[in-house]
A and B are shown apart, each in its own frame.
Chain A
Amino acid sequence: MRDFRIVYLAIAIILFCIPFTGEYPTYLTGLALLFGISALALNVLLGYTGLLSFGNALFFGAGAYTVGLLIKHYDIAAIEILFPASIATSFAVAVAVGFICVRHTRIYFTMLTIALASLFYALAHKLRPITGGDDGIRIYDTYLFGREIASVTEFYYLILVFFFASILVLRIILKSPFGLTLQAIRDSEMRARFAGISITKYRLGSFIVSGVFTGMAGALYALFLGQISPDDVLGLTRSGEFVAMTILGGFTSFTGPVVGAFVFTYLKAFVSSALIYWYMVAGIIIIGVVLFVPLGIMGEIERRLLWRR
Chain B
Amino acid sequence: MEILKTEGLKKYFGEVHAVDGVSLEIKDGEFVSVVGPNGSGKTTLVNLISGALLPDSGIIYFEGRDITKLPAHQRVKLGIGRSFQIPMVYEFLSSLDNILVSILSRNGYSNIFHRTVDKFEEERKEAMELLNTFSIPLKLVAELPHGHRKLLDVAMALALQPRLVLLDEPTAGISLEERDQVMGTIVEVLKDRKIAAVIVEHDMDIVAEYSDRILVMHDGKIMKEGGKEILEDEEVRRILIGD
Contacts and interface: CB of A to CB of B under 8 A. Distances in A.
B13 interface: no
A181 B116 contact: no
A196 B76 CA distance: 5
B117 A191 contact: no
Contact of B91 (A181, A188, A196, A201): A188
A183 B113 contact: no
B73 A197 contact: yes
Contacts of A205: 112
Contacts of A186: 92
Interface stretch (A72-80, A140-148, A172-180): A172-180
B223 interface: no
Contacts of A272: none
A293 interface: no
A194 to B, nearest CB: 5
A201 B50 CA distance: 20
A180 B76 contact: no
Interface residues on A, range: 20 to 34
B121 to A, nearest CB: 14
B73 A172 contact: no
A198 B73 contact: yes
A126 interface: no
Contact of A177 (B71, B89, B120): B120
Interface stretch (B103-111, B169-177, B209-217): B103-111
A129 B2 CA distance: 68
B88 to A, nearest CB: 4
Contacts of A178: 110-112, 114
A172 B117 contact: no
B117 A176 contact: yes
A197 to B, nearest CB: 5
B81 interface: yes
Given A175-B116, A191-B90, A194-B82, A180 B101 contact: yes
Nearest to A192: B101
B73 A181 contact: no
A119 to B, nearest CB: 29
B91 A195 contact: no
Interface residues of B, number: 40
A176 B115 CA distance: 6
Contacts of A197: 73, 101, 105
Contacts of B156: 191, 195
A202 B156 CA distance: 19
Contacts of B84: 190-191
B112 A176 contact: yes
B101 A195 contact: yes
A181 B101 contact: yes
A191 B88 contact: yes
B117 to A, nearest CB: 5
A305 to B, nearest CB: 15
B112 A194 contact: no
B90 A187 contact: yes
Contacts of A195: 76, 101-102, 105, 156, 160
6 contacts: A177-B109, A177-B110, A180-B93, A183-B97, A192-B101, A202-B110
Interface of A: 172-173, 175-181, 183-184, 186-188, 190-199, 201-202, 205, 209, 252
Given A176-B116, A178-B111, 19 more contacts: A175-B118, A177-B104, A177-B111, A178-B110, A180-B93, A180-B101, A184-B97, A184-B101, A186-B92, A187-B89, A188-B90, A191-B90, A191-B156, A192-B101, A194-B81, A194-B88, A196-B76, A202-B110, A209-B112
